[in-house]
Amino acid sequence: MTKLKNIFVILLLFSSCSVTTYSELVPLIKTAAIGTPDIEINQDFIDSIEYSFARVRLGRSSTAVLVLSTIDDNIFTWVSSSNEKIYTHNGKVIRTEGLAYNFESFNFKLFNIETVIAQNTLSYQKDIFFNNPNAFVSQFINLNILEHSDGVIKIGEKAKANGFKWTVTNTYWLDPNTRLPIKSHQYIHPYLPKIEIDYYFK
pTM for the predicted model, two decimal places: 0.81
Domain 22-200 homologous superfamily, CATH: YmcC-like (2.40.360.10)
What pLDDT does residue 32 have? Answer: 32
Residue type, 173: W
Specify the pLDDT at position 55: 93
Looking at residue 4, what is its pLDDT?
34
- Quote the CA–CA distance of 189 and 98 in Å, as a whole number: 14
Nearest-5° Cα angle at 75, 2 to 59? 130
Q: Which of 80-84, 94-98, 150-154 has the lowest mean pLDDT?
A: 80-84
65 burial level (CB within 10 Å; 0-12, 13-18, 19+): buried
Task: Compute φ and ψ for 119, nearest 5 degrees.
Answer: -100, -10
Phi, psi of 147 (to 5 degrees): -160, 135
Residues 94-106 have pLDDT tens digits of 999 988 899 999 9
